[in-house]
């Protein structure tokens, strides 16, 4: 019986062994199948996932493209940014490290509060920028003493450099850090996520930001499970941004800015045939390098509190009554409408009456009897009151638009203003009241509701000088060596005709010649004496406040006796040479007083320097780039 029990136990053990062995075999089969699934069927996928856990891929910011003038002179480029980086885990005391570093850099250059906040937020091995934009001497001194400053690393990056400071600030603009608003408004680009990446914030830097930006590079880094970088596996550098070649002449720009001095003013010089802007100056200006490195609150307050508005580009964003520089447009409107001929005469006794209201001429005793050319030369207000009334405000407005006034000209910059050329319908729609004849009188002398920009006045003058061709202004010749036709408007093509007859243009241009070269011209003191360089033009003085009847009786105060902000704006538009026109200029001096005394001498000097430099006949960057090495200038 004991033997039977032994046999039964053996059978039970055998069955259990078989069941356990079968279960183990099944489990092993499952494990083997899973291993086959992972290591064979999905080997590539999991290898990639493992590599991704092991590798970090970082974007590398490309070098930003340069901005150069028409002759290749660098205006904006990149320079080395010498800086100090802190690795918190490599120092026993961040505070002591910052104290030691402060011995070698300006005391206000270290933002201790920011650094300490970042130390608390980030892992101890993550680098934290401490000081940027060190000089080479500072960088070298810290490098030599780095063993005594635990936790720091020296680094060399790239930062934007504006070689001429404030000279091109309103044209080229500046770069700055990417804001939340930028991320919402700009096209998606991984580069925008980089902490220290800079984009264009104004000027050419903003308008052509995408072209200047370039394409990102890639760095593959091996990292451990904590995210610590072990080594760089490989690197692919980014593609630098494209260079932007401007129409500007650096020498002429520098001369114009110096000639404008400390005024609150703007000037534009352009080629009357192609529309190339050779100089565009707005003063005072600002240093874009301050924005590129990070402007301080003190610097910002000084800029925004300046009454002369250094941050604004007056050349395209300043809107001013054109004053008497508008009289050529009024004359052409009257001639083309047939309401007058060039022999039309008006007697000026110093004022004219409309009902009970008296409209004065700038010359208190009057000019006597004048024809059209004489009225332009002597800038007689009474003459233009008369012809403005005859032609009407709507036909003046229509002619104004032919000359580029009252509308944006689509220059390669943001912030351009359209100005204002009023009509009867405009006033009724905006103010809800009908147009009055007295308002037409004011429009006739470029006052009242009329507003223009210096750029528009330069374009108006260019279209007058080139015989009525609708030339449009441009600031960029090419991008990355491409032709202007590929990157910009086809400004080099023959401009369309604006539809003004030469019979109407001739007496107006003769009048502009007499403004400067006639015996009684308002700008005769500013004529160019060099034979073949003679200038034609028109002065303008735009009131910023109405002169009361009491002031006229007691005697109008001289400009220098008034507070600066109550003085009239001074304007001048002109072109040269008169017999072979090529260059046009527009100048406005805010609160400068008289156009003949303040603006005309500056315009003369600008045109003389333009003719001396003659940038359109000097070999430009495009020509130099096509030359064969060793080819002589002959």
Q: Tell me 536's DSSP state.
A: E
Is 389 contained in some domain? yes
- The residue-averaged pLDDT of 234-260 equals 91
Q: Are residues 398 and 434 in the same domain?
A: yes
In a domain, 486, yes or no: yes
Structural tokens at position 611: 């003719």
- Which pLDDT belongs to residue 32? 76
pLDDT at residue 633 tops 60: no
In a domain, 621, yes or no: no
CA gap 315, 5 in Å, rounded:
114
Same domain, 269 and 168: no
247-256, 431-440, 620-629: the lowest-pLDDT one:
620-629
Q: How many CB atoms lie within 10 A of CB 431?
A: 11
Q: How far is residue 357's CA from residue 196's CA, in Å, rounded to a whole number?
A: 64
pLDDT band, residue 487 (cuts 50/70/90): very low
Say how far apart CA 623 and CA 627 lie, in whole Å.
Answer: 7
pLDDT tens sequence across 188-232: 888 887 767 889 999 999 999 999 998 877 766 566 555 555 665
- Select from 281, 483, 316 the least CA-distant residue to 412: 316
Grade residue 9 by pLDDT with cuts at 50, 70 and 90: low
pLDDT band at 494 (very low <50, low <70, confident <90, very high): confident
What was the pLDDT predicted at 1? Answer: 56
- List pLDDT tens digits, range 278-330: 999 999 999 999 888 778 888 999 999 999 999 999 999 999 999 999 999 99
Specify whether 304 is located in the same domain as 422: yes
Distance, CA of 387 to CA of 384 (rounded, Å):
5
Q: Are 38 and 47 in contact (CB under 8 A)?
A: no
Pick 79 or 602 by higher pLDDT: 602
Residues 358 and 384 in one domain: yes
Both tokens assigned to 115: 């650094």
| Helical spans, DSSP H, in 548-633 | 549-554, 600-613, 621-626
Element holding 425 (H helix, E strand):
helix 424-431
Which residue has tokens 């279209």? 463
pLDDT mean over 590-619: 93
Q: Which two tokens stand for residue 425?
A: 């319908």
Tell me, what's the pLDDT at 102?
Answer: 82
User: What span, in angstroms and rounded, lies between the C-alpha atoms of 587 and 603?
Assistant: 6
Q: Based on the structure, what is the number of domains in the chain?
A: 2
Of 246, 271, 286, the position where a domain reaches its end is 246
The active-site residue out of 169, 264, 324, 526 is 324
| Whether residue 288 is found in the same domain as residue 317 | yes
Structural domain contains residue 67: yes
In this structure, are 225 and 270 located in the same domain? no
* Closest-CA residue to 201 (of 52, 39, 76): 76
Would you say residue 69 lies in a domain? Answer: yes
609: tokens are: 């320097």
Is residue 461 predicted with pLDDT exceeding 70? yes
Residue 483 sits at φ, ψ, to 5 deg, of -70, 155
Looking at 229, 246, 263, the residue that finishes a domain is 246
Residue 437 falls within a domain, yes or no?
Answer: yes
pLDDT digits (tens, 9 = 90+) for 98-138: 888 888 887 677 777 888 887 887 777 667 788 877 878 88
Q: Do residue 342 and residue 236 come from a single domain?
A: no
Return the pLDDT at 53. 52
* 230 shares its domain with 101: yes
Q: Which of 211, 227, 246 is the last residue of a domain?
A: 246
386-400 residue pLDDT tens:
999 999 999 999 999
CB 622 within 8 Å of CB 479: no
- Say which CATH number the domain at 469 has: 3.40.710.10
Look at 183 and 548; give whichever has higher pLDDT: 183
In terms of Cα–Cα distance, which of 321, 327, 272 is closest to 508? 327
Confidence of residue 40 (pLDDT cuts 50, 70, 90): low
Residue 324 appears among annotated catalytic residues: yes
Which residues lie across from 215 on neighbouring strands? 239
Which domain CATH number covers 72? 3.90.1310.10
pLDDT on residue 612 = 96
Higher pLDDT, 599 or 181: 599
Average pLDDT over residues 447-462: 98
pLDDT of residue 12: 61
- For the entire predicted model, the pTM comes to 0.83
pLDDT at residue 475, rounded to an integer: 97
Query: Which pLDDT belongs to residue 107?
Result: 66
Portion of the chain with pLDDT greater than 70, in percent: 83
Residue 555 has a pLDDT of 55
pLDDT grade, residue 6 (50/70/90)? low
In a domain, 622, yes or no: no
Q: What is the mean pLDDT of the chain?
A: 86
Residue with the bigger pLDDT between 270 and 124: it is 270
Which pLDDT band, with edges at 50, 70 and 90, does 255 fall under?
Answer: very high
Distance CA 118, CA 446 (A): 59
Ramachandran category for residue 165: left, alpha or beta (phi over 0 → left; psi -120 to 50 → alpha): left
Instruction: Establish if 22 belongs to a structural domain.
Output: no
* Cα(91)–Cα(125) distance, integer angstroms: 11
Conformation bin of residue 480: beta by default, left when phi > 0, alpha when psi is -120 to 50: left
> What's the length of the chain?
634
- Mean pLDDT check: name the lowest of 22-31, 268-277, 407-416, 534-543: 22-31
Asked if residues 67 and 172 have their Cβ atoms less than 8 Å apart, the reply is yes
Pairing of strands 583-589, 74-86: unpaired
Same domain, 137 and 175: yes
Closest CA to 522 of 542, 505, 537: 537
The domain of 498 spans 250-613
Judgement on whether residues 151 and 287 belong to the same structural domain of the protein: no
Strand partners, 542: 569
pLDDT at 366 over 60: yes
Same domain, 401 and 516: yes
Domain identity same for 441 and 366: yes
Q: Which strand (E) or helix (H) includes residue 281? A: strand 277-283
432 C-beta neighbours (distance < 10 Å), count: 7
- What is the C-alpha separation between 335 and 339, in angstroms, rounded? 6
CA distance 546 to 542: 11
**Per-residue pLDDT reduced to its tens digit, 415-444:** 999 999 999 999 999 999 999 999 999 999
């Amino acid at each position: 019986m004991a033997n039977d029990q032994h046999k039964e136990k053996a059978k039970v053990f055998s069955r259990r062994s078989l069941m356990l062995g079968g279960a183990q075999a099944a489990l092993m089969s499952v494990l083997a199948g899973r291993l086959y699934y992972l290591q064979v069927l999905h080997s590539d996928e999991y290898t990639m996932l493992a590599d991704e856990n092991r590798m970090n891929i970082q974007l590398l910011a490309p070098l930003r493209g340069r901005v150069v003038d028409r002759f290749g002179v660098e205006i904006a480029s990149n320079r080395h940014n010498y800086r100090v980086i802190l690795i918190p885990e490599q120092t026993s005391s961040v505070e002591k490290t910052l104290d030691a570093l402060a011995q070698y850099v300006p005391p206000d250059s270290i933002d201790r509060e920011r650094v300490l906040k970042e130390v608390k937020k980030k892992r101890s091995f993550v680098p934290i920028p401490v000081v940027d934009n060190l000089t080479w001497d500072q960088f070298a001194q810290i490098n030599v003493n780095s063993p005594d400053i635990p936790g720091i690393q020296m680094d060399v990056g790239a930062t934007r450099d504006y070689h001429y400071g404030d000279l091109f600030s309103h044209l080229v603009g500046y770069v700055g850090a990417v804001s939340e608003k930028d991320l919402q408004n700009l096209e998606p680009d991984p580069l925008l996520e980089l902490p220290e990446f800079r984009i264009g914030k104004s000027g050419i830097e903003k308008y052509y930001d995408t072209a200047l930006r370039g394409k990102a590079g890639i760095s593959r880094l091996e990292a451990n499970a904590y995210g610590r970088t072990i080594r760089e596996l490989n690197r692919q550098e980014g593609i630098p941004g494209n260079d932007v070649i401007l129409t500007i002449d650096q020498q002429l720009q520098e001369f114009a800015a110096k000639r404008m001095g400390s005024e609150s003013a703007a000037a534009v010089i352009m080629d009357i045939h192609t529309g190339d802007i050779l100089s565009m100056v707005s003063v005072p200006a600002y240093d874009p390098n301050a924005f590129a490195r990070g402007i301080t609150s003190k610097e910002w307050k000084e800029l925004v509190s300046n009454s002369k508005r250094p941050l604004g580009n007056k050349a395209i964003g300043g809107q001013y009554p054109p004053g008497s520089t508008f009289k050529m447009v009024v004359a052409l409107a009257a001639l083309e409408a047939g309401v007058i001929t060039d022999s039309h005469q008006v007697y000026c006794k110093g004022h004219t009456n409309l009902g009970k209201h008296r409209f004065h001429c700038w010359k208190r005793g009057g000019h006597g009897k004048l024809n059209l050319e004489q009225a332009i030369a002597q800038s007689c207000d009474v003459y233009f009151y008369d012809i403005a009334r005859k032609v009407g405000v709507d036909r003046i407005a229509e002619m104004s638009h032919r000359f580029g006034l009252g509308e944006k000209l689509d220059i390669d910059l943001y912030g351009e203003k359209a100005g204002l050329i009023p009509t009867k319908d405009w006033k009724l729609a905006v103010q809800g009241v009908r147009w009055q004849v007295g308002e037409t009188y004011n429009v006739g002398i470029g006052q009242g509701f009329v507003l223009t920009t210096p750029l528009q006045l330069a374009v108006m003058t260019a279209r007058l000088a080139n015989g009525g061709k609708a030339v449009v202004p441009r600031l960029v010749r090419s991008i990355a060596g491409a032709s202007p036709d590929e990157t910009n408007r086809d400004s080099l093509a023959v401009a369309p005709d604006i539809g003004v007859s030469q019979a109407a243009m001739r007496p107006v241009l003769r009048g502009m010649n007499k403004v400067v070269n006639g015996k009684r011209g308002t700008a005769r003191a500013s004529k160019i004496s060099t034979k073949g360089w003679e200038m034609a033009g028109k002065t303008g003085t735009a009131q910023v406040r109405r002169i009361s009847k009491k002031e006229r009786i007691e005697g109008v105060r001289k400009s220098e006796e008034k507070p600066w902000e109550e003085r009239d704006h001074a304007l001048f538009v002109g072109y040269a040479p008169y017999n072979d026109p090529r260059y046009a200029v527009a100048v406005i001096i805010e609160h400068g007083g008289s156009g003949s005394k303040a603006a005309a001498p500056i315009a003369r000097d600008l045109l003389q320097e333009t003719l001396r430099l003659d940038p359109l006949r000097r070999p430009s960057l495009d020509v130099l780039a096509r030359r064969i090495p060793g080819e002589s200038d002959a």
